[in-house]
Chains A and B, each alone.
Chain A
Amino acid sequence: MSEAAAAEVHGHGAVADQYEPSLTPGNSGKLGMWTFLAGDAMTFGAGIAAYGALRYQNVNWPDPADWLGISLTAVMTFILICSSVTMVEALSGITHGNIAKMQRFLGLTVLGGIAFLGCQAYEWHHLIWGEHLSIKTSLFSATFFILTGFHGLHVTGGVIYLGTLLMHSFQRAYTVADAKLIEIAGLYWHFVDLVWILIFTFVYLI
């Protein structure tokens, strides 16, 4: 069988056979972001796995409810979920050519991130200065500050990332062709939300 015939059998043209089809057609940056997030997920995952391994059957581990306020973190969780919705609405806006909607919802997403960070700053302030808890106090406090701190850094990075995109959209008059920029940024933001869902359960609720 000739090469061309073989290509036809496999349902691809000769050119398609030379190159592996992209996992994210038309948006190679999205594949880059997914790859970055996979690496980031391993870092978070290693942190959560270490947390679980240190805590499992450890009789000295305190009840998180004695130290951590669940009401505040439930609000923080709700804020992040809302910000994920505003993020997809921003993507929906630019995908349909509604740039004003995109800017409005991107702005709301940034505000959600800032509100989350405000709540986290309040929580840390209370724990450090009110409860005199530090990263050196115990395994409980060390894992708490490392996990929530690393996540907080990601939220901070996300606020800067999305805020920069928002300003850029005003300066450069975004069009529907820029939807992929918003989609890539959205992937990062949803990942931050996803990680918080796990941290909320493992660190605060269990």
Chain B
Amino acid sequence: MATEVSGHEAHAEPNYIAIFIYLAILTGVELLVYAMNFPTVLKIGLLVALAIAKATLVAMYFMHLAIERKGLWVIAATPMVLVAFCYLMLRPDLSSRAWTHQRHPEEQVGVHESAESAPPVSQPAAPQS
């Protein structure tokens, strides 16, 4: 049985409390950036960078990718590539749709229906064609 747990024993255990402190600090910084009046592009860039940093810490140390065999990265990285591909496939179609550029007359939250629409609660928007 000792061989079955050798996968854990073979590597030094990460300092989990240190990772927790990093994650808590990064979350605090995220909230600070959120509260600051930075230009939109800078704000979004910082928030995305901080989220990626936190996700990387979780994957590397809590999920042990840092000490696993490198081949496991292929499994871990494949979804990221496909998601980027998915986004890039969606963008050209959606950016050509008028409702993304024309503000709705009633300024409802994201509703892209005609002005005759009742309030969103009682009359939900019909699905787009």
- A residues bordering B, Cβ < 8 Å? 23-27, 34-35, 38-39, 41-42, 45-46, 48-50, 52-54, 56-62, 67, 70, 74, 77-78, 81-82, 84-85, 87-89, 91-92, 95, 132-134, 136-141, 175-177, 179-180, 183, 186-187, 190-191, 193-194, 197-198, 200-202, 205-206
Contacts and interface: CB of A to CB of B under 8 A. Distances in A.
Given A78-B24, A89-B16, A95-B5, A45 B100 contact: no
11 contacts: A26-B3, A49-B84, A49-B86, A50-B86, A60-B104, A74-B31, A134-B121, A176-B5, A179-B4, A197-B51, A206-B43
Contacts of B86: 45-46, 49-50
Given A46-B86, A56-B95, A137 B27 contact: no
Contact of A38 (B7, B75, B120): B75
Given A137-B109, A138-B111, A197 B63 contact: no
Contacts of A87: 62
Interface of B: 1, 3-9, 13-14, 16-17, 19-20, 23-24, 27, 30-31, 34, 43-44, 47-48, 50-51, 54-55, 58-59, 62-64, 68-69, 71-72, 75-76, 78-80, 82-84, 86-87, 90-91, 94-95, 99-104, 107-112, 120-121, 124-125
A200 B120 contact: no
A60 B103 contact: yes
B109 to A, nearest CB: 4
A201 to B, nearest CB: 4
Contacts, number: 190
A201 B31 CA distance: 10
Most buried by B among A49, A89, A190: A49
Contacts of A187: 63
Contacts of B91: 53, 56
B72 A24 contact: yes
B47 A58 contact: no
A81 B82 contact: no
A191 to B, nearest CB: 7
B30 A46 contact: no
Contact of B6 (A26, A39, A50): A26
A59 B102 contact: yes
B108 A138 contact: yes
Contacts of B108: 60, 138
Contacts of A23: 68-69, 71-72, 75
A205 B83 contact: no
B98 to A, nearest CB: 11
B114 to A, nearest CB: 13
B75 A85 contact: no
A93 to B, nearest CB: 11
A201 B8 contact: no
B125 A138 contact: yes
A70 to B, nearest CB: 7
Contact of A81 (B27, B80, B107): B27
B111 to A, nearest CB: 5
Nearest to B84: A49
